[in-house]
Amino acid sequence: MITNDKLFLGGVWTAPSDPELMDVVSPHDQSVLGRVAQARPADIDRAVAIARDAFDNGPWPRTPPAERIAVLRRYNELREKRAEEIARVTAEENGSALWFCRAGQPGLTRQANSFLKAAEEFGWKETLTPSDPSAPFRSVVRRTPVGVVAAIIPWNSPFSAANAKIIPALLAGNTVVLKVSPENTLAMNILAELVTEAGVPAGVLSVLPADRETSEHLVRHPDIDKIAFTGSTRAGRRIASLAGEQLKRVSLELGGKSAVILLPDTDLAAAVRGLKFGTMLNNGESCIAQTRILVPRSRHGEVVDALRDMVATAVVGDPLDPSTFIGPMVRADQQQRVRDYIDLGVAEGATLVTGGAQIPAGLEKGYYVTPTLFSDVDNDMTIAREEIFGPVLSAIAYDDEDDAVRIANDSEYGLSGGVWSADPAHALDVARRIRTGTVTINGAPIGFDGPFGGFKTSGIGREYGAVGLGQYTEYQTVTL
C-alpha cells in the first residue's frame, strides 16, 4: 500500500494544512490501495500564491518557447518510460480495464506531440503590414501567456485530461494549479514526479487532489486568471457563473449525449464491432460515448439483435484481468446512479433488451453494473436526454435520413457523434448536418491535431493542437 502524506505545491512536496490522510479505495473490491494527503482551501491559497509569484517574477513566462518545448518534450519521453506503471495504477484506482489503460498510452504520446508540433509552428510574434503603405507606423502582434491557470479535471481519464491542459498551458508560459479528483491521487502523484524530473521550474506547477468545496475556492480565487475545466455540464454552469463575476477567462469541456446514425446501407457486422468501443469504452464513463444509436426502422430488428449479442457478451470483471472489457464504476454513488437510470428506462416504457439494474453475479463487493441495452426508446425519454456515464445504450428508430439528423440534433448537448455508411462521401454529407464539435465516420478515432470541444451545453472553447494551445494565450498588439 502506498502512503503519501505530502502535497505537490509549486514543485515541492509539502506538508498539507490538514494532516488527516484519505484512503484511496479500489472500486473492484473496496480494498485500500493507498493513503494520501488532500488539499484544503489553505493549501489552495498557498499554491496560488506560489504560482502568482512564479508568473510575475519567475523565469518561466520569459523563457523562449523553444526551451519550454524542450522541457515538455522531456516530460513526454519520461512518461512513456513509465507507461505500464501509469496504466496499472489508473486501472486500480479508476476501475478502467487494464487493456484500455494500456491502449491509451500511445494516445498520450500523440496528444503531447500534437501540442509540441503546434508550439513549434505557432505564431508567437507577427509583424503586420499596414493596409495603407503610407502609414507612419507598423504593428507587432504578440501571443503572451494568460497568467495563472486553474486546471480542473475529472477522474475518468486523468492523464489525458491533465495533459490536455497542463501541456499547452506550460508551453504558452503560464503557471498552473492542477486540481485533480481524489480518486486519481496515486496516478497524478506520478505526473508530479515526471514534471519535476523533466525540468519544470519550481513554482510553475502544483498538483492538488481536492473535493468539490475546495475546488470552488480555487475557482473563486482572485489571483486566478483562467479556468480550464473538464467535467459535467452542471458543474460547468457553476464555474462559468463564478468566472463571469470576475471576468476570468474560461474554457469548458463538458458532458455529452452523443448519437451515432447507422444509415440503411451500413455494414452491420463492422458497425457493431466499432460500436462496442464507441459506446462502452472505459466502462461507458466517457463524455464522447455514442450511447444513442439511431437505427433505420427498416432494419430495426436485425440491428437490435446484433447489438444485444454485443452488449450481452461484453465481459465484466476485475479490471486487471486481461479478459475484462468492462470494469466497475469508479464509486458507489456512480454505480447507483447508473442503476437508477436503468430502472427509470423501464419505468418510462423502453424495452429492456439485455442487462438490467442487477449487480453482476459474483461481483457484489465492487461497484459493478450490468451492461444494458434498451430498444423502443423515444428521444424524449430521460435515458435519451441525460448523460448516464455508464454502459447503458438506447436504440432509437428513425424513418428517413432527415428524421435521423433531427433526432441526433434534438439534444441540449453537442460534444460528439458518429455516422456509419458503406458510402463514406455520403456519410460526410450527413456528418456536416450534425451539430456537434466532433463527428466520426465508420468508427474513426478522434485525432489530436484538430480542435476538440462541444456545441451548446457541451462546452465553451476547444482543446488539442494549435487551437487548444491558443486558448492559453492573450493577444497583445504593439504599435511602433
Catalytic residue IDs: 253, 287
Residue with cell 497583445: 476
Contact between 214 and 41 under an 8 Å Cβ cutoff? The reply is yes
How far CA 352 is from CA of 304, 308, 449, in Å, comes to 11, 10, 40
Of 296, 266, 272, 257, residue with least CA distance to 404: 296
Residues with Cβ within 8 Å of residue 241, at least 6 apart in sequence: none
| CA distance linking residue 77 with residue 309, whole number of Å | 41
Residues with Cβ within 8 Å of residue 262, at least 6 apart in sequence: 268, 271, 293, 294, 295, 296, 299, 303, 420
Contact between 374 and 395 under an 8 Å Cβ cutoff? The reply is yes
| CA distance linking residue 209 with residue 466, whole number of Å | 29
Residues with Cβ within 8 Å of residue 393, at least 6 apart in sequence: 279, 280, 291, 293, 307, 311, 372, 373, 374
**Which run of H or of E encompasses 91?**
helix 83-94
| CA distance linking residue 292 with residue 419, whole number of Å | 12
32 strand-pairing partners = 25
- Identity at 116, one-letter amino acid code: L
Neighbours of 143 (CB within 10 A): 19
| CA distance linking residue 94 with residue 26, whole number of Å | 8
Residues with Cβ within 8 Å of residue 469, at least 6 apart in sequence: 115, 118, 119, 122, 168, 171, 172
| CA distance linking residue 283 with residue 368, whole number of Å | 10
Spell out where 297-420 has E strands. 351-356, 370-375, 392-398, 417-420
Return the C-alpha cell found at 113: 506531440
